[in-house]
Structure 1
């Protein structure tokens, strides 16, 4: 399988963080910091090949649930 360009992963992550921020009334920086604090950014990076095939709304909900399972409260 071909390696995914880093640019693609970054663009996807930025868009997903933005959608997460909108859903939970956070700034993009707050959303990124929250997701990073609970290791959701790492999860997203590790599972990009699957994550990018799902709807953004589904991934936003998945990341929120993952963070909640790891101590988050959004």
Structure 2
């Protein structure tokens, strides 16, 4: 097995893909993957929703605390 086979595809292939994507006004992923393959899977999507809900709750708690402190100060 030659060294280029161990190293993976040549770097110039990536440059060609990026250039082609720019020319077509798209992203390289769109040239390689189906649309359904480009996003996170359902489990990861659910984890993002949970994290978003936790962050929203923390923001609301922080703002409420600021308002209460502003009223009492």
TM-score under structure 2 length normalisation = 0.32
Q: Which structure has the greater CA radius of gyration?
A: 2
Higher normalized helix content (fraction of residues): 2
